[in-house]
Copies of this chain bind each other. A is one copy, B any other.
C-alpha cells in the first residue's frame, strides 16, 4: 500500500546528504570534470540514495536553455515523416535533447498557430519539415520573431529561407532526374511524371529534373500527369494514362502514395507484374520494400537525413560542429523497375 509519497528530493537534500554545497552538486551534473573524483562519488551516492533527479523547469529557467527541440512535420501519419521523426528523435536523444512533436496536418493555419503559441518559447530550436507551401507573411514574421528570441530554426525545404535560418534540403531535381534517367536507360519510352501539385514546393524541382533527363535523352514529347499527392488521384490519373494514345512504358511517381495509386491502376489493368511498365518513386521509405512488386525508389536514407538535421540544429544551438554522414539521394533498385 502506498503512503505519503515523500516530496521529491531537491538539490539541497543531496548537498546535505553528501556534505557539500549546492553548487558542487550542480557541477556534478553540468561539468563533472571540474569536480574532484572523490567528491563526485560522494555526490553520486547521495543522488542514487535519494533517488534525486534534477528539476528541468528550474534548470531551464536558470540556464535559459531547455534541451528540447520542436519537430514540425507536414503529416506524421505519412511514412516519410514518421521515419524522419524517428531519426530525429534518436539523434536528439543521443545528444541529450527531447523532441516535441507538432503535426501540421498540411494546414498553414495550424503552423501559424503553433509558431505563435507556447512551444516556441520553451524550445531551443525548431525543425520545419513539410513539402507544403507554407510561405506566408505571418509565418515569416513568426520565424523571424522566434529567431530574435534566440530560437534556432532549421528548414527542411527550400522555402522560407533567408533570415538566419539553417537550411538542409534534399535536391529533388536530382531525385527526379535519377529516377527518370534510370527508366530511360532501360530503353523505356514514353516515361511519364505522375503527381505534382501547386500545393507542394517540391513539385517544380521534380518536374525540372524529369525534363532534364528527357531532354538529355533527346525526348521532347514528355508526359506530365500532375495530380494531388493522394493515392486515389494517382490511380485515376494512371488509368487515364493507360487508356490514352501515348501508352507509357515507365512512370516516375512523385511520392510513395502516388506510386501506390499507380500500382493499383497497373494491377487493375493486368500490368501488375514488373517488366512491362517500369515504376520508380521519388521517396525512399521502408514500405517500398514490403510491397509486391517491391518498389524501386530514388531518395535519401531517412535515418541519416533525420540525424543530420537534428545534429545540425543542435550544433547551431550549442555552437558545436558534428560530422554527419552523407545522405544524398540515390537510386534503390527493386522489382518495380526490373529490366
Binding site for B on A (CB under 8 A): 2, 5-6, 8, 51, 53-58, 60-61, 66-68, 71, 75-79, 81-83, 85-86, 89-90, 93, 96, 98-103, 105, 118-122, 145, 148-150, 164, 231, 257, 260-261, 263-264, 267-268, 272, 286-287, 289-292
Contacts and interface: CB of A to CB of B under 8 A. Distances in A.
Contact of A103 (B66, B89, B231): B89
A56 B118 contact: yes
A56 B122 contact: yes
A245 B93 CA distance: 50
Given A5-B149, A56-B121, A99 B101 contact: yes
A162 to B, nearest CB: 12
Given A56-B122, A120-B53, A257-B290, A77 B66 contact: no
Nearest to A121: B53
Closest 3 CB pairs of A and B: A82-B82, A57-B60, A56-B122
Contacts of A101: 71, 85, 89, 99-101
A261 B99 CA distance: 33
Given A57-B60, A98-B102, A261-B290, 19 more contacts: A2-B148, A57-B57, A57-B61, A57-B122, A61-B61, A68-B100, A76-B86, A77-B79, A77-B86, A81-B82, A89-B102, A93-B102, A96-B118, A98-B100, A101-B101, A231-B290, A260-B290, A267-B272, A268-B292
Residue of A83, A96, A118, A289 with highest tally of chain B CB at under 10 A: A118
Contact of A291 (B67, B260, B268): B260
A310 to B, nearest CB: 12
Copies of this protein chain in the complex:
2
A83 B89 contact: no
Nearest to A99: B101
A121 B61 CA distance: 15
Contacts of A287: 287
Nearest to A234: B290
Contacts of A8: 121, 149
Given A99-B101, A121-B53, A267-B272, A77 B71 contact: no
Contacts of A61: 55, 57-58, 61
13 contacts: A2-B148, A8-B149, A53-B120, A56-B121, A57-B122, A58-B61, A76-B82, A89-B103, A90-B103, A96-B118, A263-B292, A264-B290, A264-B292
A83 to B, nearest CB: 5
Contacts of A286: 77
Given A2-B148, A56-B122, A267-B292, A99 B100 contact: yes
Contacts of A89: 76, 101-103
A19 B317 CA distance: 36
